[in-house]
Structure 1
C-alpha cells in the first residue's frame, strides 16, 4: 500500500519508519528543507514515560490564576478573540477533575511506557545515536507542599508498575551532584530511574536517513495546501508542487493538523501551546546536570545533552506565534542558574520557541477517522519525543490492519464524540 505521511517532525518520521518496516511504500511531505525543523528541533530532551501527565489536572484553574501573577510563570495566557482558542480552553477545564485526570494520565503512561520500550528496541536494531543517556528523570521540589502533593501521581505510577523513588534532599544531590551547592533550597524529589534523555532533533534526522535508506521518499520544501476528497475517501494531497496520490494518508502535522482536517468536517481538538528553550554550552561539567531534572516550581526541564544543557518549558497559549520575548528567556535562565550555577555560559545560549500540539485531555489522537483512508497521529503536546516510537508503531499496526500490542481504542478521535 502507498501511504502519504504529512509532516516530518519526530512523529511523522517515526511513523514513516515503522510503516516502511511493515512493507508499505511511503512518501513524506513537509514544507521545511529537512526533517525535525519545527517543534522537534529544540525541545527539552526528555524521554520520560513516568512523568507523562496531562496539564488538565485538579487544582490547575486555581494555580493558573496564581501563575499568571508570577514573574517566572509556568503558564502564560495571551488571550485573543479566537473561537478555536476559547473552545480548547473550555474543553481543557472540563478535564480538570480527579476522575478525568486519572483516566487521562493512565492512558498517557501506557503509551509512553510502550514507546520507551520501542525506542530501546530501535536503538538495539539500528545503533542510532542522538546524545542519549539512560540515567532517569528527577522531579525536583523546592517546597514541602509540592513534595506532599505527589500522592496522585505515585498512585498511577504504582498501578502501572512504573519504578520510582521518593528522595530527600541528600538523595537528590546523590543522583545530581551539581545540586550540592544549592541543597538548602530544595526539599526532595521524585525520581523515575527508567526514564531517558536525548536530542530529539538528532534522533529525527538520523531516523529520517535510516527511513530513506529503506525506501521512504521525502518531499521537502513542499507546502501542503489541502486534502482532496472524492467518493467518501481522500483522493489526493494538494501541494505547492502538484497533487500526491496514495492509497492512505496520515496526518502528522502537529499544531497544523486541525486546520487541514477542518474542511473535511473533522473537529480535531488540537491547539498550539507554545514552549521555549535555551541551549547552553557547558563550561564546568562538574556543576552540570547528569540527566534530566524537572523544576516543579516553574515546570521547566533541565537536560544534559552531550556538551550542552537544554533548558525547556513553559506553556504559553497565544495562538500560532513564534516570537521570542526576552522575559521568557529570563525565566529559563533563572531556573537553570538557580539550580546549577556556573555550569553553563548563559550569555552564549541559543533561544528557541516551538508550538506543541496539545489536546484538551493531554492524550494524543492516534488512529482512524470517519474517512476510511485518513488516519491521525498528532496532539502529543509536550510528550512527542517521549511517545514518538510507540505512536509510530501503533499507527503502523493500525494502518496495516494489525492489532497493536497495547490498547488503542481510547487514543482515537472517536473518544471526543463519546
Structure 2
C-alpha cells in the first residue's frame, strides 16, 4: 500500500469519518469545507439515531401514490412540492423505478449489511477515543397503534434476521415495562417492536469529537474553503479549484452530501443524489423529574423522538422541495403534534419552553443506496447519498472506502454501493 495525498470535500459525518479512517491507514488527508466547522449541515441536528434496524429506502412500493396525495396534504409525512419538479424529473423517475418490491428489498438488505458493520465501527471509535455524545445503548422502540402496524414491522424485520437483525415483539404491557413514560397513551398502544442493538446520541457532538481526534492524528482541516470545480486532465481528476487557489492531490473524495452532484456534472457524471428536507425540534427537558429513556419511532410520520441528556430531539418527515431551506410552520407543527401524541404528559411543558427548530437536507440517492467508491473519472471517489442513514452508515462507509482505496479485502460487498451506478 502506498501513502496517498488525499483531499476530502465536505466535513460532515461522511467526510470526517473518512478522514479519520484514511489517516489511520497512513494517508495524508486534507479536508476542505465551506463552513466554519465540522458537521454544520445535515449532521447538525438530525434524528440522532444509529439504526441498522431501519435500512429501508423511502421509495417503498406505492410511494408514487403517496407523493401524489401529498400535493393536497400539507401535513403528509412525505411531502412533494411542485416548484422544484422540473429539476427533479430524471432523479424522480429513477426514484420511482426503484420502488418495486424486489429492488426495495435488495436495497434494504444491502443497507443493513453496511449499517450493521458501521455500527460496530462507530462503537469501536467511541470506545477508543472516549467520545462523549449523549450516547444511549437502549435500542429503539417502534410504536404500533394497531395490529396491522405490528404485522408490517415483523414482516420487514424477519427478512433481515438471517443477516443478523435482532428484534422482539412487545405487547402493551411489555412496551410500558420498557418505557413507562408511555403509560399516558397506554390505551392507544397495540404493541411495539424493540430493536435492542440500535443506539442513539448527538451526531453533531460525535462529528466534532471525531474531527478533533482526526486533526490530532494529522488531518488538516481548511475551513471557509469552498470548492468550485474539480481539476480534470484527460479523464484523471488531479485536484480541486477553490475560490482562491488550486490544490492537487492523488485522490479526491467527494463527501459533500446533496451538493455533490453539482461538482460532478461538469465531468459528465450525473450523480442521482438530491436533497430531501428533514425537520427537527430540540426541546429542553432539564427540569423534568422523569424523562423518556429510549428513542421512540412513529413510522406513520417518518419521525423519531430521541432523548439526548437534558434535551429531547424530535426529528423526521420528508419534504422534496429542492433547495428550499424555509422552516414551514405546518411541518414544524407535525413534530409538535408527535410530542403531544407520544408524551402528552410532558407536551405542555416541553412545547412552552425553549424550542430550537431546524431543517436540513438529507442526500437521497434515487435507488436508496449510498455511492461509495471510485467513479469512471480516475482519482475521483465518492462517499455520499446516504439519505436518512447518514450517521448509521458513516463509519462503515469510511471503512469500505479505505479498503477499496488500499486494495484490501472489503468488509462488506461493495457492489451495491459502487459509483459505477452513475
For Structure 1 versus Structure 2, the TM-score category normalised by the shorter chain is: over 0.9
Preserved contact between residue 3 and residue 250 of structure 1 (Cα < 8 Å): yes
Q: Which residue in the other structure is 1:134 paired with?
A: 137
* Structure 1 length-normalised TM: 0.96
Q: Tell me, in whole angstroms, the C-alpha distance in 2 between the residues paired with 1:31 and 1:51.
A: 31
1:406 aligned to which of 390, 403, 412: 412
Deviations 1:288-340 (CA, angstroms, capped at 9, x unpaired): 32121111121111000111000000110010121111111111010012211
User: Partner of 1:101: helix, strand, or coil?
Assistant: helix
1:107 and 1:209, CA in 2 relative to 1: closer, same or farther beyond 3 A? same
Q: Which moved more, 1:181-190 or 1:310-319?
A: 181-190
Unaligned runs of 5+ in 1: none
How do 1:105-120 residues align onto structure 2 when only pairs under 5 Å count? 105-120=108-123
- Distance in 2 between the 1:232 and 1:62 partners? 42
Equivalent position SS for 1:51 = coil
Q: Confirm or deny: 8 A CA contact 2:369 2:416 kept in the other structure.
A: no
Provide, for residues 220-260 of structure 1, a one-character-per-residue CA deviation record: whole Å limited to 9, x for no partner.
00111110111321122010231111110000000000111
In the aligned structure 1, how far is the partner of 2:84 from the partner of 2:277? 18
Q: Secondary structure at the match of 1:190?
A: strand
Structure-1 residue corresponding to 2:214: 211
Matches for 1:226-375 after TM superposition, within 5 Å: 226-282=229-285, 285=288, 288-343=291-346, 345-347=350-352, 348-375=354-381
TM-score, with length taken from structure 2? 0.95
Task: Give 1:170 deviation, angstroms.
Answer: 1.8
Alpha carbons of structure 1 residues 317 and 71: separation in structure 2 relative to 1, 3 Å: closer
1:191-202 map, 5 Å? 191-202=194-205
2:184 paired with 1:178: no
The CA RMSD over aligned residues, in Å, is 1.5
Q: For 2:244 and 2:146, locate their aligned partners in 1 and report how far apart those are by CA, in whole Å.
A: 55
Q: Work out the number of aligned pairs and report it.
A: 416
Unpaired runs of 5+ residues, structure 2, are none
- What is the CA distance between 1:59 and its match in structure 2? 2.5
C-alpha separation between the residues in 1 aligned to 2:244 and 2:178? 52
- Report which stretch shifted further, 255-264 or 50-59: 50-59
Paired with 1:305 and 1:259, the residues of 2 have a C-alpha distance of: 35
Alpha-carbon distance change, 181 to 16 in structure 1, aligned in 2, over 3 angstroms: same
What is the rounded CA distance, in whole Å, between the counterparts of 1:285 and 1:189 in structure 2? Answer: 25
Cα deviation digits, residues 145-169 of structure 1 (max 9, x gap): 2222234412222121210011222
2:15 aligns to what?
12
Report the equivalent of 1:62.
Answer: 65
Seen in structure 2, the aligned counterparts of structure 1 residues 187 and 66 have a Cα distance that, compared at 3 Å, is: farther
Q: Give yes or no for contact 1:284–1:342 (8 Å, CA) kept in 2.
A: no
The match for 1:188 is 191
